[in-house]
């Protein structure tokens, strides 16, 4: 807690004296106020006094106007106390130096639990408290103070307005009303309203324009018309997919029953226990979620379900709404501003007691949260890529502990961290339990895996991107009129172009990354900063090398667009080829439309990147093909093998989920890699034993904790100097240990103190016109690494033009 020892500025901009009462008066109330300035320097709330005329009106969650420096500032009340000593961090603070809250700007926007969680996130992830608190605010633009012409201040609201609907209903007298014989429209209206109130939109959809009949009967007192709050987005996510329905099974499998029993034990304990459901693909984890939520709703509490991809919400929300109706709210970034606001209000009002969405759904204003579920918990998308760089799994675990509700993690390929915590039995005071689900409901079996060795294909003279096993399998799907899924985790037409004469590769003007060629739009696109270079404006890469002018530019590598062209050439015209990647799904509801097209087709091939690899449930899919598994295996990251295994195992699980058996064909030049062998044998231990040994020897999570520090600036030398200064300071704080590799070579089983790797240039050294340097800190799992980094960064200080990113538990080291 810090003091606001600043001169006061009145609401009208004029100076005013303090309104604190004298020592003889009743003790005033005090508030911890988090000033809305997103900087790490303001790591704690400030103490302010609550004037007597505001007593009882200031609540935790209110936005208030306070004095900060020589200007008014927006702040949020995060705690209240009847005496100054009751506020944490106020030791030694004099009552005379505490200034009053000037104005209450809003009703409460968040709960006391949300405020505490935001402050915990700020410390845990070395982030500005204001950035963390904004996660819990109503969706819309960042809140800003606005001064009106009369000198008063107010909180500028988002321009999005609340939606409303006009409801028409019969009056008591109207129930006995008999319209004239020729009044056809009035008869239709009375008949439509006889079963209950109906909106004017629904009436117009049924009978075209009914406004005249409504006005006539309203004047006669037959009907009444009233405005009610409407919820945009209630129908969003409703899907026509045949698989987007959740029929209640006649009986659960043994694994499903065991999982539900574990969740019930965690609910009874009320200690925030974590249950990891480790179930093979297609084992019915969603039914476990639905059954567990039914029990939570029956007890009067609410539930939150996180899914990793926007593409999954159409199918997932459909299943949840088929079971729970309009009590389900959906929350993700593809909703419009109005839909997001209404879904948020729906949750706050208690109209929706089940929230389904991406990681941002975690911060909705849940009413009495009784269960948190994270589906596909291993997914990298649960890690936030911008400040605050939280991981949804860790925040959810902290929420579960505070609310005393279970956290359920589900995956066919659990993360190394989750498995390690379950082996340990507990983590951070919470119990972690793993439940296996090894069978698929209804007698469905795991698919047959075929590894196509591309080395042999090349030696036999084949130059096609489809091996003979994959080509034959595709033709079999066409003959049987079934469906197939093809994975190729490279969007675009070609990953890069290269001049055959001088070796030049066109790169982005703003980043040190090669441009990807997109043939559909004849553009080169940077997948780092998003820059697009049209061939007409850029020195024509399709015809001339920008360095030597040679016309011989080759398209190197294969993207999804090129695979799509190859499929169209070999498949009959009556077979639908549907490409699903970041380019084809940019429009609103793009994911749902493509999936519905695939579902409606008699015979089709769904080609896509990793977004098609998980969560999708189409019983008609009998073939899954992986065009090239090697793209995922050789990235410079210790998690590369884990990600590759997750991706291949998940996409393999899309096959054979119905009555017909499935087949998976994996094309690779590395058939003996542990990842490929594990997937082919349906034996995870082949991979996990190798991966655990590698991580233990090299000291990587889950055996240590990582922190990634990135410094960037427009001038290379300045950024590098600051990075070295920060690295030296950290090395000194950690006792001079700077060679983690030496400890790894010595086969230390436990890291005894933090060590620093680097600094060095980032793999992508230049991005968005800024030069980037980084270092990596490895620390013991229980070491307070966040506090150490925060203190060191404060001691070194800031530099003009230099940005510092601190990523605790990073997933991106590039």
Residue 94 has φ and ψ, to the nearest 5°, of -80, 145
**List of residues 6+ apart from 610 with CB closer than 8 A:** 487, 489, 647
Decide if 74 contacts 155 (C-beta within 8 A).
Answer: yes
DSSP class of residue 507 equals B
pLDDT at 616: 75
pLDDT-based confidence at residue 557 (cuts at 50, 70, 90): low
pLDDT tier, 537 (very low <50, low <70, confident <90, very high otherwise) = very low
What is the reported pLDDT for 723? Answer: 94
User: How close are the terminal C-alpha atoms of the chain, in Å?
Assistant: 37
Q: Where are the beta strands (DSSP E) in 586-662?
A: 604-608, 621-626
β-pairing, 223-229 vs 164-170, is antiparallel
Task: Compare 144 and 807 and report the one with higher pLDDT.
Answer: 807
More confident residue, 145 or 333: 145
pLDDT band of residue 740 (cuts 50, 70, 90) is: very low
pLDDT reading at 726 higher than 90: yes
- Looking at residues 645-666, what average pLDDT do you find? 89
458 pLDDT higher than 90: no
Flag whether pLDDT at 412 surpasses 80: yes
5-38 pLDDT, tens digit per residue, is: 332 333 333 333 334 444 444 445 899 999 998 8
Are 116 and 86 within 8 A, CB to CB?
no
Question: Alpha-carbon dihedral of residues 500, 504, 506, 510, nearest 10 degrees?
Answer: 170
| Mean pLDDT, the chain, integer | 84
> Rounded mean pLDDT of 239-260?
75
| Portion of the chain with pLDDT greater than 90, in percent | 46
**Cis amide linkage into residue 702, ω under 30° from 0:** yes
CA–CA distance, 7 with 17 (Å, rounded to integer) = 9
Residues facing 224 on adjacent strands: 169
- pLDDT at site 310: 62
pLDDT at 326: 82
What's the pLDDT band for 593 if we cut at 50, 70, 90? confident
Cα separation, 89 vs 2, whole angstroms: 7
Distance CA 753, CA 755 (A): 7
For residue 21, what pLDDT is reported? Answer: 41
Among 242-256, 272-286, 339-353, 416-430, name the one with the lowest average pLDDT. 242-256
Query: Per-residue pLDDT averaged across 605-623, rounded?
Result: 85
Measured in residues, the chain has a length of 814
Position 296 pLDDT exceeds 90: yes
pLDDT digits (tens, 9 = 90+) for 143-190: 788 888 887 888 887 667 777 788 888 998 888 888 888 888 888 888
Measured between alpha carbons, how far is 106 from 112 in angstroms, rounded to an integer? 16
pLDDT of residue 742: 43
Among 320, 376, 314, 315, CA closest to 352: 320
- pTM for this model (two decimals): 0.83
Per-residue pLDDT of 471-525, as tens digits, reads 999 999 999 999 999 998 876 565 667 776 777 778 888 888 778 777 767 788 8
What is the reported pLDDT for 109? Answer: 92
* Structure tokens that stand for 353 in this block: 């007691």
Burial of 167 (0-12, 13-18, 19+ CB in 10 A): middle
Convert 247-275 into a string of H (helix), E (strand) and C (coil): CCCCCCCHHHHHHHHHHHHHHHHCCCCEE
Q: β-pairing, 103-104 with 328-331? A: unpaired
> In this structure, what DSSP letter does residue 441 have?
G
CA atoms of 544 and 539, how far apart (whole Å): 7
Burial classification of residue 534, based on how many CB atoms lie within 10 Å of its CB (0-12 exposed, 13-18 middle, 19 or more buried)? exposed
Q: How far apart are CA 145 and CA 156, in angstroms?
A: 6
What would the mean pLDDT of 556-570 be, rounded to a whole number? 85
Q: Which domains does the chain have, with CATH numbers?
A: 2-156 (3.40.1440.60), 164-229 (1.10.10.10), 254-442 (3.40.50.300), 444-491+560-695 (3.40.50.300), 492-558 (no CATH), 699-808 (3.30.70.600)
Residue of 198 and 549 predicted with greater confidence? 198
What's the pLDDT tens digit per position in 687-719? 999 999 999 988 999 999 999 999 999 999 999
Q: Assess whether pLDDT exceeds 90 at residue 786.
A: yes
pLDDT at position 297: 95
More reliable by pLDDT, 44 or 292: 292
Over the stretch 362-384, which tens digit does the pLDDT of each residue have? Answer: 999 999 999 999 999 999 999 99
Number of other CB atoms surrounding residue 198 within 10 Å: 16
Q: Which of 116-120, 279-283, 743-747 has the lowest mean pLDDT?
A: 743-747
CA within 13 Å, CB half, 148:
8
pLDDT in tens, 179-218: 888 888 888 888 888 878 888 888 887 787 888 888 899 8
Residue 232 tokens read as: 């945009």
């Amino acid at each position: 807690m810090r003091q606001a020892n600043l001169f006061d500025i009145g609401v009208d901009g004029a100076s005013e004296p303090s309104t604190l009462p004298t020592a003889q008066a009743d003790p005033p109330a005090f508030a911890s106020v988090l000033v809305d300035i997103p900087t790490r320097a303001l790591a704690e709330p400030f103490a302010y006094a609550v004037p007597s005329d505001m007593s009882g009106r200031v609540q935790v969650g209110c936005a208030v106007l306070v004095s900060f420096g020589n200007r008014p500032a927006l702040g949020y009340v995060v705690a209240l106390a009847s005496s100054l000593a009751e506020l944490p961090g106020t030791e030694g603070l004099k009552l005379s130096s505490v200034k009053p809250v000037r104005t209450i700007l809003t009703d409460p926007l968040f709960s006391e639990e949300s405020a505490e969680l935001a402050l915990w996130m700020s410390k845990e992830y070395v982030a500005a408290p204001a950035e963390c608190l904004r996660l819990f605010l109503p969706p819309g633009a960042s809140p800003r103070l606005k001064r009106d012409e009369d000198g008063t201040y107010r909180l500028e609201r988002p321009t999005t307005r609340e939606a409303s609907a006009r409801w028409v209903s019969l009056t008591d007298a109207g129930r006995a009303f008999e319209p004239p014989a020729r009044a056809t429209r009035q008869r239709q209206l009375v008949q439509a309203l006889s079963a209950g109130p109906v909106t004017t939109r629904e009436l117009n959809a049924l009978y075209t324009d009914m406004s005249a009949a409504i006005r006539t009967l309203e004047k006669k007192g037959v009907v009444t018309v009233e405005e009610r709050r409407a919820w945009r987005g209630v129908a969003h996510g409703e899907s026509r997919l045949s698989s987007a329905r959740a029929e209640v099974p006649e009986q659960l499998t043994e694994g499903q029953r065991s999982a539900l029993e574990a969740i019930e034990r965690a609910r009874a304990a009320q200690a925030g226990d974590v249950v990891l459901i480790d179930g093979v693909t297609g084992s019915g984890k969603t039914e476990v979620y639905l059954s567990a939520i039914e029990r939570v709703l029956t007890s009067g509490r609410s539930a939150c379900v996180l899914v990793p991809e926007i593409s999954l919400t159409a199918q997932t929300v459909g299943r949840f709404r088929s079971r729970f109706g309009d009590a389900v709210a959906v929350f993700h970034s593809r909703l419009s501003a109005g839909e997001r606001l209404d879904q948020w209000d729906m949750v706050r009002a208690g109209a929706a007691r089940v929230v389904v969405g991406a990681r941002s759904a975690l911060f909705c204003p849940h009413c009495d949260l009784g269960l948190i579920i994270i589906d596909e918990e291993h997914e990298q998308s649960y890690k936030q890529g911008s400040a605050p760089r939280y991981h949804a799994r860790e925040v959810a675990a902290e929420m579960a502990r505070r609310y005393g509700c279970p956290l359920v993690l589900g995956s066919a390929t659990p993360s190394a961290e989750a498995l390690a915590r379950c082996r340990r039995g507990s983590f951070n005071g919470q119990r972690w339990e793993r439940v296996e689900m090894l069978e698929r409901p209804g007698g469905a079996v795991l698919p047959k895996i075929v590894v196509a060795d591309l080395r042999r294909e090349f030696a036999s003279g084949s130059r096609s991107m489809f091996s003979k096993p994959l080509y034959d399998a595709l033709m079999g799907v066409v003959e049987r009129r079934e469906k197939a899924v093809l994975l190729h985790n490279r969007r675009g037409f070609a990953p890069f172009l290269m001049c055959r004469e001088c070796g030049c590769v066109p790169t982005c003007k703003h980043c040190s990354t090669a441009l990807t060629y997109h043939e559909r739009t004849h553009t080169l696109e940077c997948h780092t900063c998003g820059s697009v270079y049209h061939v007409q404006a850029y020195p024509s890469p399709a015809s001339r090398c920008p360095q030597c002018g040679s016309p011989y530019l080759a398209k190197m590598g294969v993207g999804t667009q090129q695979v799509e062209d190859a499929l169209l050439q070999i498949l009959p015209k009556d077979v639908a080829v549907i490409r699903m990647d970041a380019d084809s799904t940019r429009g609103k509801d793009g994911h749902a439309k493509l999936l519905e097209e695939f579902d409606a087709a008699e015979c089709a091939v769904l080609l896509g990147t990793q977004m098609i690899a998980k969560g999708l449930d189409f019983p008609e899919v009998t073939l899954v093909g992986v065009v090239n598994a090697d793209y995922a295996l050789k990235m410079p990251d210790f998690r590369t093998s884990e990600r590759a295994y997750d991706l291949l195992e998940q996409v393999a699980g899309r096959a054979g989920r119905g009555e017909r058996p499935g087949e998976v064909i994996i094309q690779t030049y590395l058939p003996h890699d542990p990842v490929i062998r594990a997937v082919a044998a349906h034996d995870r231990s082949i991979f996990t034993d190798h991966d655990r040994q590698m991580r233990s020897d090299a000291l990587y999570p889950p055996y240590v904790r990582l922190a990634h520090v990135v410094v960037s600036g427009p001038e290379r030398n300045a950024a590098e100097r600051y990075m070295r200064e920060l690295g030296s300071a950290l090395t000194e704080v950690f006792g001079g240990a700077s060679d983690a590799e030496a400890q790894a070579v010595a086969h230390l089983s436990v890291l005894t103190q933090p060590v620093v790797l680097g600094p060095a240039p980032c793999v992508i050294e230049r991005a968005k016109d800024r030069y980037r340097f980084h270092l990596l800190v490895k620390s013991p799992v229980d070491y307070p690494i966040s506090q150490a980094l925060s203190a060191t960064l404060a001691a070194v200080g800031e530099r003009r033009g230099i940005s510092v990113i601190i990523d605790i538990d990073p997933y991106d080291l590039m």
